[in-house]
Structure 1
Amino acid sequence: MPQSLTLVSHLLCPYVQRAAIVLLEKGISFQRKNIDLANKPEWFLAISPLGKVPVLQVGEVSIFESAVICEYLDETHAPHLHPQDPLLRAQHRGWMESGSAILTDIAGFYSAKDEAALQQKATQLQHKFSRINAALGKGPFFGAQDFTMVDVVFAPIFRYLDAFDAIAYPDLLAGLQPIQAWRQALASRPSVQHAVVAEYPQLLSTFLKNRHSALSLRINDRALSTD
């Protein structure tokens, strides 16, 4: 008998989205249990040694860290989202790490305290996106016709860019046509669309507005100018 799966989540966490996308891609039945990371319940701290989401509860066993969760799901459920060729699989894992580094830069971008720091982070992001752009093939996905774990990693990244576009921040993908097409292909993927709640764009916008950062100042100034 299959074990029940529960994905312990936070509504805005991009790493949770990775696990949710994999579960949805594979058609795996699961429940979601959202928690408030600012007020972590004791039961959560007991199953998450690092105090982070996601956690996947597999019956009575809990697995933490998004990369571990995604690897477990890919090993135990078809269709496999990693290439079968070991060398290509290793290359894909390298690009997945690049995606994690970009998420760190995005956090630095929306948390930057002044315009100089904001622009520095924007430049770092544009450089990294340019390198990804150069690695893309004909698409529509990173692995051409195949939706892979690299796509899983980058779909939540592009959601942040949607939020930045909404405040008319200069396009971080300007002039990078292949990656823009990839972004659009991922946005139309049902597993990506359903990895977040319908209210996600509003929740993310509120989160960004409340960061007390250079970006949040831009957001609030823009809101005032359009009132």
Structure 2
Amino acid sequence: MRKLTLISHHLCPYVQRAAIALHEKGVSFERINIDLADKPDWFLKISPLGKVPLLRIQEDDGREEALFESSVICEYLEETQPGAGLHPADPLTRARHRGWMEFGSSVLSDLWGYETASDKEQLDAKREALVAKFATLERALADGPYFSGKNFSLVDAVFAPVFRYFDVFDRLGNSGIFDGLERVTRWRKALSERGSVQDAVGEDYPQRLMQFLEKHNSVLLKQSVAA
């Protein structure tokens, strides 16, 4: 028997990937949120990069391991835990899915710049980058409801946290990023309704994200006030 502990942060989208995978697999786990601005010593001792997520694996015989990087954690869960498979069985399709998971990380990079933009010029540049990436996804999507059809996969686990940002951003005004993207819009809705996605964050996620925007003096908030 193993005890699994997910070392987490309330907002981190990479943590959410791992949490979604754990929920999808039906695995019992403990979740510990830490303050990334004041990382505890015990965390720094076991996290080579000093980042979350971190999955602590404690065996009954006292042995302990720690996995870092969300993609590694998700792959480990896929290989070791029972439940529905989150990767396609076909090697080529599985490799393709891994590529789209990396694409999801590039979307998060642009999203970081979008949410922390302190002037309109930077905001507009990141908005256009996001528009282009979601347009690429529109062409890649199957008929749904999920990335490749009826089966939920790790690609879905990667993009669900991306769309969650916009559930909050939409309250500040319509960015137009998803205009005309019917498949992406349906995909976003299907992911938001899935239990594992909903359970990957706390109920106070929207409030915490708003506080994050305020802390970074985000122009998104200023545009909301101006509107």
What's the TM-score once normalised by structure 2's chain length? 0.95
Shift of 1:143: 1.6
1:163 to partner: Cα distance: 1.4
Q: Determine if contact 1:210/1:216 at 8 Å carries over to the other structure.
A: no
By how many angstroms is 1:213 displaced? 2.9
Question: Paired residue for 1:144?
Answer: 149
| Of 180, 184, 188, the match for 1:175 | 180
Q: Tell whether 2:51 aligns with 1:37.
A: no
Taking the TM superposition and a 5 Å limit, the aligned residue runs for 1:58-73 are: 58-59=57-58, 60-73=64-77
Q: Deviations over 1:131-177 (max 9, x none)?
A: 00111111000020000010000000001111110101422111100
Q: How far apart, CA to CA, are the structure 2 residues paired with 1:40 and 1:62?
A: 16
What value does the CA root-mean-square deviation take over the aligned residues?
1.1
Shift of 1:11: 0.4
Q: Which residue pairs with 2:61 in the alignment?
A: none
Counterpart Cα distance in 2 of 1:218 and 1:49? 39
> What SS does the aligned partner of 1:109 have?
helix
**Which residue does the alignment assign to 2:204?**
199
Q: Deviations over 1:63-119 (max 9, x none)?
A: 111110000000001322000000001111111111000000000111122101100
**2:79 maps to what in 1?**
75
**1:217 and 2:214 aligned:** no
Contact 1:209 1:217 in 2 (8 A): no
Query: Structure 2: how far apart are the matches of 1:35 and 1:7?
Result: 11
Letter in 2 for 1:139: G
CA contact (8 A) 2:4 2:57 kept: yes
Q: Distance in 2 between matches of 1:66 and 1:12?
A: 14
Number of aligned positions between the proteins: 221
- The residue identity in structure 2 corresponding to 1:120 is A
Q: Is the 8 A contact 1:165 1:171 kept in 2?
A: no
Q: CA deviation at 1:202?
A: 1.2
In 2, are the aligned partners of 1:110 and 1:216 still within 8 Å (CA)? no
Structure 1: 5+ residue runs without aligned partners? none
Could you tell me which residue of structure 2 aligns to residue 5 of structure 1?
Answer: 4
CA distance in 1, matches of 2:175, 2:19: 30
1:3-49 deviations in whole A, cap 9, x for unaligned? 10000000000000000000000100000011000000000000111
Residue correspondence of structure 1 range 147-162 to structure 2 within 5 A: 147-162=152-167
Alignment match, 1:121: 126
CA shift for structure 1 position 125: 0.2
State the identity as a percent: 53
* One-letter identity of the residue aligned with 1:183: R
TM-score of the superposed pair, with normalisation by structure 1: 0.95
Distance 1:40 1:94 in 2: 32
